[in-house]
Amino acid sequence: MSPRANHPTPTGQTGHALNRHRVVIIGSGFGGLFAARALARADADVVLIARTTHHLFQPLLYQVATGILSEGEVAPSTREVLAGQANATVLLGEVRRIDLAARTVTSHLDGHDTVTAYDSLIVAAGTGQSYFGNDHFAEFAPGMKSIDDALELRGRIFGAFERAELATDPAEIRRLLTFVVVGAGPTGVEMAGQIAELSRRTLRHDFRRIDPTAARVILLDAVEEVLPTFGDQLGTKARRRLERIGVELQLGATVVGMDARGVEIRDGDGTRRRIETACPIWAAGVSASPLGRMLAEQSGAELDRAGRVAVGQDLTLPGHPEVFVVGDLIASAVYDPPLPGVAQVAIQSGRHAARTIRARLAAQVEPGPFRYRDKGSMATISRFSAVASVGPVRLSGVFGWVLWLGVHLVYLIGFKNRVTTLLHWMVSFLGRGRAERTVTDQQVRARNVLRHHHHDHPDPLRAAAPPGL
Ligand SMILES: Cc1cc2nc3c(=O)[nH]c(=O)nc-3n(C[C@H](O)[C@H](O)[C@H](O)COP(=O)(O)OP(=O)(O)OC[C@H]3O[C@@H](n4cnc5c(N)ncnc54)[C@H](O)[C@@H]3O)c2cc1C
């Protein structure tokens, strides 16, 4: 019996023509969403399955965490984005199984499994946070991968100032007003820069007992460079600018321990020390979605150290031309030059997979190998200051910042979001306010409460799923 007959498509698809080509996309990030949109005019039914109801503009998460933007501005509803695309169906669920032989994807929501059959599959499940084998750090230092992370961080950052206002012991006030950002890549640099601006500009007149401008913002990294992928010149400029706005750089410093009251550091010369802090933030390291391992086990594809999949030059799995891996889940080293883990790679690879499927359906020549067009990279440091590297051009300061502003507005999804984001940026960058300072108990506590709940009440299906899911 054919796998298709075994696994009827979900009810949402029943209105579609029989035998029409079925494309399943896993993930609603840059790779998944841009692939779905690129299939709008294809003669195919497209089912996008993701574990969140939203697309996520990860590059602006740090602005949600520091009160500049609301979560809705960086995370529009995927269903709304694709509402006008008649051939697209959106399903909520966590994909726990991909069966390459049966050509099915099994997703899970609220105790129910949904099996969706495909003719072509695009896996755009991205990466998660890696604590380099120290998973217990997660309890104390949230990462920066999701809306939950950003809102928890917002609660922790603003909450630290509130608790300091109540504290009486000077050492405890110092601890509460010490922020430690781990990882001096773009995310860490942007996060540290924004906490410094928050304490020195936004909050400077808001408290009566403490001086928020005295907050210590420490940016540390095991390597000796800031923004290593941007090259020496821009790295040095970023470093100077960070120091000017009050960020303390500690490079060559590795985090070797963490508890509720601080972090343990090993410096380059081997000495150990401790920083007392109530707010460590993890902006280092990625590990691939466990779906990568599942694909590798069934196809023989290799994985890199972070668990990303070595696909062919056309982005397909070995022996499975119908299965594409796009975005952050691609093992970048198989490409020359290696692909960076950035939004443009996800967008372009998602579109490339869609183009290949469209060509096959129209019996046209396939586009062949994926060629990444590098559109450059950029990172903001503070208001009116960013570094940008576009081809041979290096921009910094206000020019870099204007470019950063324009590019981010263009790639934000939805007109409404662009307008409100621009307004919020005016509030924060021209004025000194932060429009999104709401913090709730749920935001701050829910992640760890849920972790402990799952530990005490294991979900049998989750337990049956492959490790890591
Ligand atoms: C904080 C931060 C800042 C960044 N800043 C920049 C920047 O300034 N510029 C830049 O170019 N890039 C930046 N990046 C990188 C960029 O965001 C990623 O390269 C890009 O998001 C990758 O897209 P993707 O579609 O491959 O994965 P993602 O965007 O991570 O999307 C993965 C999708 O898969 C879904 N998913 C995962 N597993 C499952 C499952 N089992 N079942 C169902 N759904 C699943 C997720 O919910 C999500 O929808 C940043 C990343 C982060 C985290």
HSE-CB of 263 using CA atoms within 13 angstroms = 28
Strands, E assignment, 346-447? 377-382, 385-390, 393-396
For residue 228, give the CATH number of its domain.
3.50.50.100
Expressed in angstroms and rounded, the spacing between residue 128 Cα and the centre of ligand 1 is 8
For residue 120, give the CATH number of its domain.
3.50.50.60
For a pocket test of ligand 1, which of 37, 342, 390 has the largest count of ligand atoms closer than 8 A to its C-beta?
Answer: 342
For a pocket test of ligand 1, which of 58, 148, 229, 311 has the largest count of ligand atoms closer than 8 A to its C-beta?
Answer: 58
What would you report as the CA-atom Rg of the chain, rounded to the nearest whole angstrom?
23
Q: pLDDT at position 337, please? A: 82
Could you tell me if 106 and 233 lie in one domain?
no
Residue 468 has pLDDT above 80, yes or no: no
CB of residue 332 inside a 6 A radius of ligand 1: no
HSE-CB of 38 using CA atoms within 13 angstroms = 22
Could you tell me if 333 and 407 lie in one domain?
no
Residue 4 has pLDDT above 60, yes or no: no
Q: pLDDT at position 457, please? A: 62
pLDDT digits (tens, 9 = 90+) for 317-332: 999 999 999 999 999 8
Q: pLDDT at position 14, please? A: 38
- Quick check: is 456 in a domain? no
Global confidence as pTM: 0.91
Q: pLDDT at position 59, please? A: 93
pLDDT digits (tens, 9 = 90+) for 256-290: 999 999 999 999 999 999 999 999 999 998 899 99
Could you tell me if 139 and 117 lie in one domain?
no
CB of residue 125 inside a 6 A radius of ligand 1: yes
Tell me whether strands 393-396 and 44-50 are parallel, antiparallel or unpaired: unpaired
Expressed in angstroms and rounded, the spacing between residue 35 Cα and the centre of ligand 1 is 14
CB of residue 29 inside a 6 A radius of ligand 1: yes
Residues above pLDDT 90, as percent of the chain: 78
- Quick check: is 68 in a domain? no
Catalytic residue among 71, 73, 94, 190: 190
Could you tell me if 161 and 12 lie in one domain?
no
β partners of residue 275:
263
- Quick check: is 411 in a domain? yes
Task: Band the pLDDT of 16: cuts 50, 70, 90.
Answer: low
What is the chain's mean pLDDT, rounded?
91
Could you tell me if 309 and 254 lie in one domain?
no
Could you tell me if 100 and 165 lie in one domain?
no
Q: pLDDT at position 349, please? A: 98
What domain range is 207 assigned to? 135-283+376-451
Expressed in angstroms and rounded, the spacing between residue 58 Cα and the centre of ligand 1 is 6
Could you tell me if 203 and 235 lie in one domain?
yes
Could you tell me if 310 and 346 lie in one domain?
yes
Two tokens at 260? 């509720």
Expressed in angstroms and rounded, the spacing between residue 34 Cα and the centre of ligand 1 is 12
Could you tell me if 351 and 398 lie in one domain?
no
Tell me whether strands 104-109 and 94-99 are parallel, antiparallel or unpaired: antiparallel
Are 276 and 174 within 8 A, CB to CB? Answer: yes
Residue 56 has pLDDT above 70, yes or no: yes
Are 370 and 314 within 8 A, CB to CB? Answer: yes
Are 435 and 428 within 8 A, CB to CB? Answer: yes
CB of residue 285 inside a 6 A radius of ligand 1: no
Q: pLDDT at position 458, please? A: 59
The H helix count followed by the E strand count for the chain is 15, 21
What are phi and psi for residue 344, nearest 5 degrees? -65, -35
pLDDT digits (tens, 9 = 90+) for 332-382: 877 878 898 999 999 999 999 999 999 999 999 999 999 999 888 899 998
CB of residue 114 inside a 6 A radius of ligand 1: no
CB of residue 290 inside a 6 A radius of ligand 1: no
Are 138 and 280 within 8 A, CB to CB? Answer: no
Q: pLDDT at position 446, please? A: 85
- Quick check: is 231 in a domain? yes
**Ligand 1, closest atom to CA 286?**
53
Q: pLDDT at position 47, please? A: 98
Could you tell me if 119 and 176 lie in one domain?
no
Q: How far are the Cα atoms of 117, 160, 311, 346, 373 from residue 125, in angstroms, in the given order?
A: 18, 34, 14, 10, 22
In whole angstroms, what is the distance from residue 420 CA to residue 427 CA? Answer: 11
Q: Which of 334, 369, 365, 335 is nearest to 353 (CA)?
A: 369
Q: How many CB atoms within 10 Å of residue 328? A: 30
For tokens 């779905």, name the residue: 36
Q: pLDDT at position 52, please? A: 97
Query: What crossing angle do the helices spanning 415-425 and 397-411 adopt, rounded to 10°?
Result: 150
190 given a catalytic annotation? yes
pLDDT digits (tens, 9 = 90+) for 307-319: 999 999 999 999 9
- Quick check: is 460 in a domain? no
Scanning 27-96, the segments in alpha helix (DSSP H) are: 30-38, 61-65, 71-74, 78-81
Could you tell me if 398 and 416 lie in one domain?
yes
- Quick check: is 155 in a domain? yes
Q: pLDDT at position 332, please? A: 83
Residues above pLDDT 70, as percent of the chain: 93
Expressed in angstroms and rounded, the spacing between residue 406 Cα and the centre of ligand 1 is 21
Number of domains present in the structure of the chain: 2
Q: pLDDT at position 11, please? A: 38
Could you tell me if 186 and 37 lie in one domain?
no
- Quick check: is 76 in a domain? no
**Ligand 1, closest atom to CA 328?**
26
